Amino acid sequence: MTLAINIRHRLGSFLLDAQFETGSGLIALFGRSGSGKTSVINIIAGLVPPERGRITIDGTVLLDTERGVFVQRHRRRIGYVFQEGRLFPHLTVRQNLLYGRWFAPRAKRGDDLERVVDLLGVGTLLERRPGRLSGGEKQRVAIGRALLADPRLLLMDEPLASLDEARKAEILPYVERLRDQSKVPIVYVSHSIAEVARLATTVVLLSEGKVAAVGPTSEVMQRLDLFPLTGRAEAGAVIEATVERHDETFGLTELASRAGRWRLPRIDAPVGARLRLRVRARDVMLAKSAPADLSALNVLPGIVADIGPHDGPIVEIRVDCSGEALIARLTRYSVERLGLASGTPVFALVKSVALDRRSLSGPLQTAFGPNPEAGDA
C-alpha cells in the first residue's frame, strides 16, 4: 500500500501544511497536542474537506482539489476508530460489528465476523448493548466494527487516550495482533512515545501543522535533533532483538541484537521470538573503559556517533553499537569530564531492571502482557 498525502488547510490561525508518503504496516502520526494529527486523519477520512490537497491510496484518488475530486466519506472505504469509540447505543455489539459490512461491496467482504471476534476477544459481548461495556471493551468493539467494513486503510485516533493504564495494557496487544495479522494498513494517531515506539512501523512526526520527519521508527527515534519534538523525558532508542535463552536459576532472559547481548528479568516469550526493546535515554550510562565489579548486566561496546545540542545542563548522545543506535542522556559536566566527542569508543551500561515489560513489544507480547482472553478483570 502507498498512502500519499499533500494537504493544506487553515483552521483559524493554525495552518496545516503536510506532505508525506508511506508504505504498509502501522504508520504512527506522532506529535504534541495541537500539532494537527487529528485534522490530518479527519481529512483522510473525508470528514473535513481541506482548502487544498491531494490524497491517494495505491493510486486511487480520494481527494484532488485542483481537479475537483472529493470522494464522499461513505465511498472512501476508510475505517475510523474514534478516540471515544462512538458505538451506536441502540444496537447490540453484534449489530454494531456488522453495521459497516452491510454497506461493503459484497465481493470484497474479506474478514468474517468469527475471525474478528476472535482477534479482538469480544465473543462474550455480542448480545450486549454498548452502554454497559467498559472503556476497553468499547474500544475493542469499535476496532472490530471498523475492520468488518472491509476498509482499505484503518485510521485510529488516539484509541487509548481515554483509557487508564490497565485498560491501555489490555488493548495494546490487540493493536499489535492487528498490525501483524491483518493486511489492512493502519494510520495511528498518538502523542505517547511509548505507544509509538511499541507499535509503529513508520513514524510521521508532526510539529505545528508541518511534517518534521518521516521514517522507520528506530530511525526517527534515534535522531537527537528531534528530541525537543518527540518529548525528552521518555525519549530513547528502539532496538530489534531475538529471545536467545532463559536463565531459570536467576529468572533472567537473554536477548540477542546487533548491538550485543541483553539480559533482563525473565519474560514469557519463546526462544526465537522477535521483540522490540525500547531503551530510554535516561536509563543509559556511558563509560570510557570496560567497568569491572558492576551490577548492571548490560554492557555494550560502541562508538560515540553524535552529540546533541549542549547549551543546557543535559546532553543527549547517540552511540553506535555495531550498527545499532543507543541514546544516552548525560549531564554536560560528565560529557566534558570524560572528554566525549564523535568517534570516542565507549561502553554503554543499562541496568537490567530498567528494562521491564513495558519497554518490550512484539508479536508475542500477549504472553506477558495482561492475558487478553481474560477480558476486563
Partner 1 sequence: MDWMTLSPEEWTAVQLSLRVAIVATLVSLPFGIAIAMMLARGRFWGHSVLNGLVLMPLILPPVVTGYILLILFGRRGPIGAFLADHFGIVLSFRWTGAALACGVMGFPLMVRAIRLSVEAVDTRLEEAAGTLGANRTWVFLTVTLPLIVPGIIAGMILCFAKAMGEFGATITFVSNIPGETQTLPSAIYTFTQVPGGDVGAFRLTLVSIAIAMLALLASELMARFANRRLDIE
Q: How far is the CB of 130 from partner 1 (least distance, A)?
A: 8
* Beta bridge partner(s), residue 303: 320, 345
Backbone angles phi and psi of 212, in degrees to 5: -90, -30
Between CA 114 and CA 24, with CA 185 as vertex, the angle to 5 degrees is 135
Q: How far is the CB of 117 from partner 1 (least distance, A)?
A: 17
Residue 141 contacts partner 1 per CB under 8 A: no
Please identify, using beta-carbon distances, which residue of 3 and 360 lies nearer to partner 1.
3
Residue 64 · residue 41 · CB < 8 Å: no
Out of 82, 174, 227, 262, the only residue in the binding site for partner 1 (CB under 8 A) is: 82
The footprint of partner 1 on this chain (CB under 8 A) covers a number of residues equal to 30
Residue 100 contacts partner 1 per CB under 8 A: yes
Residue 191 contacts partner 1 per CB under 8 A: no
Task: Give every CB contact of residue 283 below 8 A, 6+ residues apart in sequence.
Answer: 236, 350, 351, 354, 355
Residues 113-132 that bind partner 1 (CB under 8 A): 129-132
Of the chain, the end-to-end C-alpha distance in Å amounts to 38
Query: Among 300, 283, 294, which residue's Cα sits nearest to residue 356?
Result: 283
Residue 86 contacts partner 1 per CB under 8 A: yes
Please identify, using beta-carbon distances, which residue of 86 and 246 lies nearer to partner 1.
86
Please identify, using beta-carbon distances, which residue of 18 and 147 lies nearer to partner 1.
147
Out of 12, 67, 102, 270, the only residue in the binding site for partner 1 (CB under 8 A) is: 102
Backbone angles phi and psi of 373, in degrees to 5: -70, -25
Residue 333 contacts partner 1 per CB under 8 A: no
Please identify, using beta-carbon distances, which residue of 157 and 316 lies nearer to partner 1.
157
Residue 171 · residue 161 · CB < 8 Å: no
Query: Among 255, 253, 260, which residue's Cα sits nearest to residue 241?
Result: 255
Give the binding range for partner 1 (CB under 8 A) out of 24-32, 145-153, 175-183, 257-265: 145-153
Give the binding range for partner 1 (CB under 8 A) out of 84-92, 258-266, 277-285, 348-356: 84-92
Q: How far is the CB of 123 from partner 1 (least distance, A)?
A: 20
Q: Determine if residue 63 is left, alpha or beta; phi over 0 gives left, psi from -120 to 50 gives alpha, anything else beta.
A: beta
As a whole number of angstroms, the distance between CA 1 and CA 192 comes to 25
Q: How far is the CB of 146 from partner 1 (least distance, A)?
A: 7
Give the binding range for partner 1 (CB under 8 A) out of 99-107, 240-248, 274-282, 313-321: 99-107
C-alpha cell at 243: 529471545
Task: Give every CB contact of residue 37 below 8 A, 6+ residues apart in sequence.
Answer: 29, 30, 31, 157, 189, 190, 191, 206
Residue 73 contacts partner 1 per CB under 8 A: yes
Residues 8-67 that bind partner 1 (CB under 8 A): 45-47
Please identify, using beta-carbon distances, which residue of 76 and 278 lies nearer to partner 1.
76
Q: How far is the CB of 248 from partner 1 (least distance, A)?
A: 49
Residue 90 contacts partner 1 per CB under 8 A: yes
**326 CB-side CA count, 13 A:** 31
**DSSP letter (8 states) at residue 129:** -
Out of 31, 50, 53, 79, the only residue in the binding site for partner 1 (CB under 8 A) is: 79
Out of 7, 55, 149, 163, the only residue in the binding site for partner 1 (CB under 8 A) is: 149
Residue 254 · residue 263 · CB < 8 Å: yes
Please identify, using beta-carbon distances, which residue of 73 and 246 lies nearer to partner 1.
73
Residue 188 contacts partner 1 per CB under 8 A: no
Q: Tell me the CA distances in angstroms from 326 to 124, 205, 222, 329, one per residue in order.
A: 44, 20, 7, 10
Q: How far is the CB of 114 from partner 1 (least distance, A)?
A: 20
Residue 266 · residue 246 · CB < 8 Å: yes
Out of 54, 140, 145, 280, the only residue in the binding site for partner 1 (CB under 8 A) is: 145
Residue with cell 459484497: 106
Footprint of partner 1 on this chain (CB under 8 A)?
A: 45-47, 72-80, 82, 84, 86, 88-90, 99-100, 102-104, 129-132, 145-146, 149
